[in-house]
């Protein structure tokens, strides 16, 4: 075969490969599926008395169900239930206390609504009980480093989000230091992904979270946000920066109203490669995401994507 023919064949193959549709990752969340072709919204439901933004607001079951319904109608694909606050300085809770907070809400949501329910926990027993009660995803701020958490996640065969945190909630904001925050967070998440694979967890079930505000200064958080695409090369990214102090830091305003700043930051996460954005303000975020999708994909495609 001549050099010209070889080059022509190579060009033809390259064109054919470029013409093939990209394979869309679909998460199997128990009986439900979640496409990551477009960014998805995870609504936060804290059933705690002391979470930093909404502690105590949804502690009552009826209030939690009303908020869940509101978030689903507003555009949330996932509801993330948390039974233990991980704000800076937060005190830990025991296994039974977390179970008592999470399970009744989880079971009620699964019975009433057609939605994927994630459970935000680091405890193996909570993971196992949540899976038995119908959870479709697990979200662990400690990246499966607690006793038996890795095996519990492997047994579940559900998607699991691994988050980076420097230290523990009580101490994580005590002068955190990095030589290169993007590289160090990426290296940590790569190591945790490898550990999960070795434990038998399907790589398709793994999500990663850079852990905005978890042992990071404002400059660290901004650097991670700017370089989110580098983390997306490891696994699909779940990003949560809703109402956090980094928003107040960027606004240079400690006022509690951080909604517009949070939504703007969430859209930057999407543009920089995040597949799921974890938020308090679902309606506002969903509206912003529709605008971004309309510009990126066209109005009709954006509307069909929800």
Whether residue 287 lies inside any domain: the answer is yes
Whether residue 2 lies inside any domain: the answer is no
Whether residue 100 lies inside any domain: the answer is yes
Given pLDDT bands bounded at 50, 70 and 90, which one contains residue 18?
A: very low
**pTM of the predicted structure, to 2 decimals:** 0.87
- Residue 215's domain comprises 39-304
- Tokens 């990071």 sit at which residue? 216
Distance CA 44, CA 74 (A): 13
DSSP per position, 139-174: EETTTT-STTHHHHHHHHTS-EEEE--SS-TTTTTS
Whether residue 68 lies inside any domain: the answer is yes
Of the given ranges (23-37, 134-148, 226-240), which has the lowest mean pLDDT? 23-37
Which residues lie closer than 8 Å to 242 by C-beta, 6 or more apart? 44, 53, 262, 266, 278, 279, 280, 281
Whether residue 157 lies inside any domain: the answer is yes
Averaged pLDDT, 36-64: 79
Looking at residue 181, which CATH number applies to its domain?
3.20.20.20
Domains in the chain, number: 1
Whether residue 28 lies inside any domain: the answer is no
Distance CA 46, CA 23 (A): 34
Res. 2: pLDDT tops 70:
no
- CB burial of residue 141 (10 Å; 0-12, 13-18, 19+): buried
Whether residue 225 lies inside any domain: the answer is yes
pLDDT, tens digit (0-9, with 9 covering 90-100), for 143-193: 999 999 999 999 999 999 999 998 776 665 667 889 999 999 999 999 999
pLDDT, tens digit (0-9, with 9 covering 90-100), for 225-245: 999 999 999 999 999 999 998
Q: CA–CA distance from 130 to each of 82, 100, 158, 192 (Å)?
A: 11, 11, 11, 22
Q: Are 280 and 243 in contact (CB under 8 A)?
A: yes
Q: Which residues are catalytic?
A: 244, 278
Res. 8: pLDDT tops 50:
no
Whether residue 209 lies inside any domain: the answer is yes
Given pLDDT bands bounded at 50, 70 and 90, which one contains residue 134?
A: very high
Averaged pLDDT, 262-291: 97
């Amino acid at each position: 075969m001549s050099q010209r023919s070889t080059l022509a064949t190579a060009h033809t193959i390259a064109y054919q490969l470029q013409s093939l549709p990209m394979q869309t990752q679909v998460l199997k969340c128990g009986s439900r599926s979640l496409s990551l072709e477009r960014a998805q919204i995870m609504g936060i439901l804290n059933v705690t008395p002391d979470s930093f933004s909404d502690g105590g607001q949804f502690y009552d079951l009826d209030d939690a169900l009303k908020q869940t319904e509101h978030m689903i109608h507003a555009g949330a694909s996932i509801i993330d239930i948390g039974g233990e606050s991980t704000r800076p300085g937060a005190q830990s809770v025991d296994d039974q206390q977390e179970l008592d907070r999470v399970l009744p809400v989880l079971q009620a949501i699964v019975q009433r609504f057609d939605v994927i329910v994630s459970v935000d926990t680091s405890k193996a027993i909570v993971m196992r009980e949540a899976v038995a009660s119908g959870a479709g995803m697990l979200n662990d701020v400690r990246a499966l480093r607690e006793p038996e958490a890795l095996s519990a996640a492997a047994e579940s065969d559900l998607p699991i989000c691994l988050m980076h945190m420097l230290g523990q909630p009580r101490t994580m904001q005590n002068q955190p230091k990095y030589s290169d925050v993007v590289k160090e967070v990426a290296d940590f998440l790569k190591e945790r992904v490898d550990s999960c694979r070795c434990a038998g967890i399907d790589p398709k079930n793994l999500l990663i979270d850079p852990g905005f505000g978890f042992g990071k200064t404002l400059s660290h958080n901004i650097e991670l946000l700017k370089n989110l695409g580098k983390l997306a090369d490891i696994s699909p990214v779940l990003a949560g920066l809703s109402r956090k102090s980094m928003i107040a830091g960027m606004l240079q305003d400690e006022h509690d109203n951080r909604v517009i700043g949070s939504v703007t930051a969430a859209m930057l996460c999407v543009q920089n490669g995040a597949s799921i954005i974890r938020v308090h303000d679902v309606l506002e975020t969903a509206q912003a995401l529709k605008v971004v999708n309309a510009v990126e994909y066209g109005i009709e495609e954006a509307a069909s994507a929800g």
